[in-house]
């Protein structure tokens, strides 16, 4: 006989009590599965930045520099009206790719959330993006590491990109 009990959002103490009820029963094997590690650390954030295209790096740098807020209208004004077509989807793909590579849990959350559209500025355009406050320190540390790494002459820094959106390349 195989019995599976799934208790969602239980405290660790409660889960141990449930397992203790079955301890010692002949033919019953009890196991407790640890919750997946879904925390964005500075190392994970760095790896995400390192393995993302330029558009995602620009997007994330602006979120970090804005203390977790990216004003979509100001971003579009500087980088072009189509500049936000792609970065959030590419970010999601990079997160899924990292989970597939085993760099983090498939359950790790996307650290970025869009706002709802502003009806006065265009019904279908997102007003902005938030980098969740709990993830901001990890991404700030990762971005600082990325900047230090590039000051040694590696790939161009986001700050070195001209105001021309074509500088972002065709990757989305």
- The neighbouring-strand residues paired with 131 are 112
Spell out, as residue ranges, where the chain has pLDDT lower than 70: 1-10, 28-35, 118-123, 152-172
Q: What is the pLDDT of residue 82?
A: 86
Give residue-wise pLDDT tens across range 47-72.
999 998 888 989 999 999 999 999 99
Evaluate if pTM is beyond 0.85: no
| Rounded-to-integer distance, Cα 159 and Cα 150, Å | 11
Residue 166 has φ and ψ, to the nearest 5°, of -65, -20
Q: Which two tokens stand for residue 126?
A: 């997102």
The 10 Å Cβ neighbour count of residue 109 is 14
Q: What is the pLDDT of residue 2?
A: 61
Of 63, 39, 49, the residue nearest 145 (C-alpha): 49
* In the chain, alpha helices (H): 12-22, 42-50, 54-65, 72-79, 87-101, 136-150
Contacts of 127 (CB under 8 A, 6+ apart): 71, 72, 73, 115, 116, 117, 118, 121
């Amino acid at each position: 006989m195989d019995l599976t009990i799934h208790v969602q959002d239980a405290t660790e103490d409660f889960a141990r009590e449930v397992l203790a009820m079955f301890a010692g029963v002949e033919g019953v094997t009890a196991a407790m599965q640890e919750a997946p590690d879904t925390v964005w650390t500075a190392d994970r954030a760095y790896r995400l930045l390192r393995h993302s295209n330029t558009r995602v790096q620009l997007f994330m740098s602006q979120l970090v520099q804005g203390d977790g807020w990216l004003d979509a209208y100001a971003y579009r004004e500087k980088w072009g009206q189509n500049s936000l077509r792609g970065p959030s989807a590419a970010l999601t793909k990079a997160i899924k790719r990292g989970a597939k590579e085993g760099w983090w849990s498939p359950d790790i959350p996307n650290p970025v959330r869009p706002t709802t559209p502003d009806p006065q500025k265009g019904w279908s355009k997102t007003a902005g993006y938030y980098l969740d406050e709990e993830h901001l320190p990890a991404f700030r540390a990762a971005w600082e590491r990325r900047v230090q790494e590039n000051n040694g002459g590696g790939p161009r820094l986001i700050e070195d990109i001209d105001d021309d959106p074509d500088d972002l390349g065709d990757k989305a």
